[in-house]
Amino acid sequence: MRIAVVGASGYAGSEVLRLALGHPHAEVVVATGASTAGRRIRDHVPALAALVGERTFAPTAEVLEADVDVAFVALPHGQSQHVVPELLERGVRVLDLGADFRLRDADTYERWYGHPHERPELLGSAVYGLVERHRDELPGARLVAVPGCYPTATSLALGPFLDAGAVERAGMVVNALSGASGAGRSPSDRLHFPRLAANAETYGLITHRHTPEMEQEIGGSLLFTPHLVPVSRGMLVSAYARAREGMTTDVALGILRDRYADEPFVVVVEEPPTMKDPVGSNLCFVSARVDPRTGWLLAMSSIDNLLKGAAGQAIQAWNVAEGWGETLGLPLTGVTP
């Protein structure tokens, strides 16, 4: 199939490009970059040199004229709305890695993102692309809203317990550590090496935009606190919820094992997952503990924020939308050490 990668010069976009170039059913015909148009891809992303040859980034507008079947859109939040509607009108399947079509309610979008949604009529038609929870909705989907990295890791950790009625839906707490690549490729004071190295900091306190996405997906209220740590990629989530009577660690692990028994990309482990375990793969590691003294469930997960948290997730959702094998073109093993 003829593929466009829009925003291919960013971290998530270049990962989509890398995966698409190795996918057996994909022919990448255009890769765009707003600030890199005309520049050789290999000069911007040297890791892709052996696959891209002398190809250059195209201007973003070129995707609206290109003959493509599928477009992966990896633009900054708020910009997809200017591209996606026209692509859909031309019959192109769209997988949007931004946040523009993840929330179902336009008022919620405006409240958390600070501006009105320009195409609210499309919100109801977008399928949330977390395959493990929306697999049946994806076949044939024309617009897929690829989930954010924090909501992915959180939903896969807490979702099974909420679905089983094993925890309270109110008052959940989510703490998450993310590698610096989650903040994107654009430089900033927060990502400046002297500040980032040997440091850790919280950000987006109480107002992080992924909060309503998590609450929408798992159906409960939560306090979310993200932390930036000095690694390039990876994500580790510790999520807390009040356990209902009868919950033990063995029961909690059993819920996870039953829920994910047939999922190729979710690995249930007894020991707490580490941030490094899934790096380089599309895997999510999950585990759980129940503290009988306080009555809290602790659900844990780790992902590669650029793969299962972005590009790998997009390819996985595309595979399902097309009716292909779910693992096609995706790494099932991480990189160690």
185 has a pLDDT exceeding 90: no
- Give the residue-averaged pLDDT of 101-125: 96
Q: What distance in Å separates the CA atoms of residue 167 and residue 191, rounded to the nearest whole number?
A: 37
pLDDT for 189 equals: 86
pLDDT given for residue 186 in this prediction: 80
Contact status, residue 286 vs residue 260, Cβ threshold 8 Å: yes
Q: Are 226 and 179 contacting, i.e. CB atoms less than 8 angstroms apart?
A: no
CA 58/CA 48 separation, integer angstroms? 16
Q: In whole angstroms, what is the distance from residue 67 CA to residue 13 CA?
A: 19
pLDDT over 90 (residue 306): yes
The CA distance from 104 to 107, in Å, is: 9
Torsion angles phi and psi, residue 257, rounded to 5: -65, -45
DSSP H/E element including 89: helix 84-89
The three-point CA angle 162-215-155 to 5° equals: 55
Report the 10 Å Cβ neighbour count for 106: 16
Residues 46-104: tens digit of each pLDDT? 999 999 999 999 999 999 999 999 999 999 989 999 999 999 999 999 999 999 999 99
- Tokens 């939903």 found at: 155
CA distance 120 to 131: 23
Tokens representing 25?
Answer: 């059913």
**Residue 76 and residue 183: Cα distance in Å, rounded?**
11
pLDDT of 14-23, one tens digit each?
999 999 999 9
The amino acid at 50: A
What confidence score (pLDDT) does residue 325 get?
A: 97
**φ, ψ at 96 (rounded to 5°):** -100, 120
Q: Looking at the predicted structure, is the pLDDT value of residue 188 above 90? A: no
Residue-wise pLDDT tens digits, 269-279: 999 999 999 99
Q: What is the mean pLDDT of residues 251-275?
A: 98
pTM of the model: 0.97
All structural domains of the chain, each given as residue ranges with its CATH number in brackets, are: 2-146+310-322 (3.40.50.720), 149-303 (3.30.360.10)
Distance CA 27, CA 333 (A): 24
- Asked whether residue 162 carries a pLDDT value surpassing 90, the answer given is yes
Give the pairing of strands 70-73 and 93-96: parallel
Catalytic positions, written as ranges: 149
| Rounded CA separation 197/231 (Å) | 8
Task: Say what the pLDDT of residue 184 is.
Answer: 82
